[in-house]
């Protein structure tokens, strides 16, 4: 495939990839590792916010930021987020704010107050003084009142946080699915382009042997010159047969077709696929390189270069695939 023929194909690919045609909400497909989701909801006196965002990463790395007094939720949040994605660097921010009421209450030490009153009564009786103790008097005494944090139902709070988290994660997944759909269209178009290039190589490869035989016969006649010797057709056929076996790319092209088929099946799945696709790209590259090294025909060499250029674009794209 010449560079001139590759250019229209590339333009056609870009037109298709940018068309935005949806495969339908119920269709399975790959997901992107990059996404963002946010949700906020009020429960009684509390407003709970949950934000999640992720970027590419070879492994799963979930980082959670919570108010310190709710740090007991960290493991639960990590497990909840981890159930939605298999890899990627994910940052989670959870906010829990009291918008009404109070987080503490004032309590009185009744035992201490009783002790104070007994002391006042004893003073009154001992010194014949009027016992005019009032609530106001007692309230000014040391340590009579103390502030105590209001106890919260941890299980109930976690359920509220989980409710908001699911909403944010649903939005997060929706964005990753939309990105995945764009990746699917891009990868599907590019792998189809490589498949057409492989078909082209298969169609022009036989002509390489015809050229080789013609060159071999011409070289033999040139060497024999005006001598009485005649070219040995059987020997030429043997040499051509040996070369045909050496240059046969059927095995590589068959494996290449198998890899392309597997590639298509994987990108149609909603299961984590990034590592599998990365492996397949390496194998596809191997078969293309071997095919190019066997066939030194100019047209095939150009096609191999075009195919490797497309494969490099695929390699870059699958770095975004979960």
Kindly tell me if the per-residue pLDDT of 253 is higher than 90: no
- As a whole number, the mean pLDDT across the chain is 81
Per-residue pLDDT at 259: 94
Mean pLDDT of 3-30: 46
- Bigger pLDDT: 107 vs 321: 321
Using an 8 Å Cβ cutoff, are 58 and 86 in contact? Answer: no
- Bigger pLDDT: 144 vs 114: 114
CA-CA distance, 16 to 21, in Å (whole number)?
A: 8
pLDDT in tens, 156-172: 999 999 999 999 999 99
Three-state SS sequence of 92-122: EEEEEEECCCCCEEEEECHHHHHHHHHHHHH
CA-CA distance, 17 to 261, in Å (whole number)?
A: 20
CA-CA distance, 66 to 51, in Å (whole number)?
A: 11
Kindly report which listed range (102-106, 129-133, 201-205) carries the lowest average pLDDT score.
102-106
Q: In what order do the strands lie in the sheet with 35-43?
A: 35-43, 46-55, 88-98, 60-65
Mean pLDDT of 38-52: 94
The conformation of residue 70, written as its DSSP 8-state character, comes to G
Kindly tell me if the per-residue pLDDT of 294 is higher than 90: no
Per-residue pLDDT at 3: 39
- Strand, coil or helix: 226: coil
Q: Percent of the chain at pLDDT above 90? A: 41
Handedness of CA 252, 253, 254, 256 (dihedral sign): positive
Handedness of CA 151, 155, 161, 163 (dihedral sign): negative
Handedness of CA 146, 147, 149, 150 (dihedral sign): positive
* Residue 130 CB-density burial (10 A; 0-12 exposed, 13-18 middle, 19+ buried): exposed
Kindly report which listed range (82-91, 95-104, 216-225) carries the lowest average pLDDT score.
216-225
Mean pLDDT of 126-133: 86
**Confidence bin at 252 (pLDDT 50/70/90):** confident
Kindly tell me if the per-residue pLDDT of 25 is higher than 50: no
For the CA atoms of 235, 237, 240, 241, the dihedral, rounded to the nearest 10 degrees, stands at -110
- The CB density around residue 1, as the number of other CB atoms within 10 Å, is 21
Per-residue pLDDT at 209: 61
Using an 8 Å Cβ cutoff, are 173 and 35 in contact? Answer: yes
Q: Quick one: tokens of 276? A: 């599998």
Angle between helices 154-224 and 274-294 (to 10 degrees): 0
H or E stretch at 146: strand 145-149
Kindly tell me if the per-residue pLDDT of 150 is higher than 80: no
Per-residue pLDDT at 2: 41
CA-CA distance, 299 to 6, in Å (whole number)?
A: 12
Mean pLDDT of 137-160: 79
Kindly report which listed range (22-26, 214-218, 310-314) carries the lowest average pLDDT score.
22-26
CA-CA distance, 302 to 272, in Å (whole number)?
A: 34
CA-CA distance, 200 to 300, in Å (whole number)?
A: 8
Per-residue pLDDT at 248: 67
Q: Quick one: tokens of 268? A: 């149609």
Mean pLDDT of 78-96: 93
Q: Tell which residue, 222, 212, 97, 245, has the closest CA to residue 157.
A: 97
């Amino acid at each position: 495939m010449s560079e001139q023929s590759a250019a229209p194909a590339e333009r056609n690919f870009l037109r298709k990839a940018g068309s935005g045609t949806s495969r339908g909400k119920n269709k399975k497909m790959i997901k992107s590792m990059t996404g963002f989701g946010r949700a906020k909801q009020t429960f009684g006196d509390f407003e709970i916010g949950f934000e999640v965002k992720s970027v590419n990463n070879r492994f799963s790395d979930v980082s959670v930021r919570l108010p310190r007094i709710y740090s007991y939720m960290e493991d639960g949040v990590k497990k909840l987020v981890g159930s939605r994605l298999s890899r990627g660097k994910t940052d989670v921010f959870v906010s829990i704010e009291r918008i009404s009421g109070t987080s503490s209450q004032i309590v009185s030490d009744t035992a201490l107050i009783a002790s104070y009153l007994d002391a006042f009564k004893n003073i009154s009786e001992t010194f014949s003084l009027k016992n005019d103790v009032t609530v106001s008097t007692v309230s000014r005494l040391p340590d009579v009142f103390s502030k105590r944090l209001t106890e919260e139902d941890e299980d109930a709070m976690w359920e509220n946080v989980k409710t908001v988290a699911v909403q944010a994660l649903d939005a997060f997944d929706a964005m990753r699915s939309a990105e995945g759909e764009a990746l699917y269209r891009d990868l599907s178009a590019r792998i189809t382009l490589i498949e057409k290039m492989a078909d082209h190589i298969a169609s022009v490869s036989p002509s390489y042997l015809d050229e080789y035989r013609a060159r071999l016969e011409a070289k033999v006649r040139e060497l024999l010159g005006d001598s009485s010797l005649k070219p040995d057709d059987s020997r030429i056929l043997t040499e051509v047969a040996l070369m045909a076996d050496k240059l046969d790319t059927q095995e590589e092209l068959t494996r290449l077709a198998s890899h392309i088929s597997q590639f298509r099946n994987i990108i149609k799945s909603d299961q984590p696929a990034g590592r599998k696709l990365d492996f397949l790209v390496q194998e596809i590259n191997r078969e293309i390189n071997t095919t190019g090294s066997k066939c030194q025909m100019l047209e095939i060499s150009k096609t191999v270069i075009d195919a490797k250029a497309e494969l490099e674009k695929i390699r870059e794209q699958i770095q975004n695939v979960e």
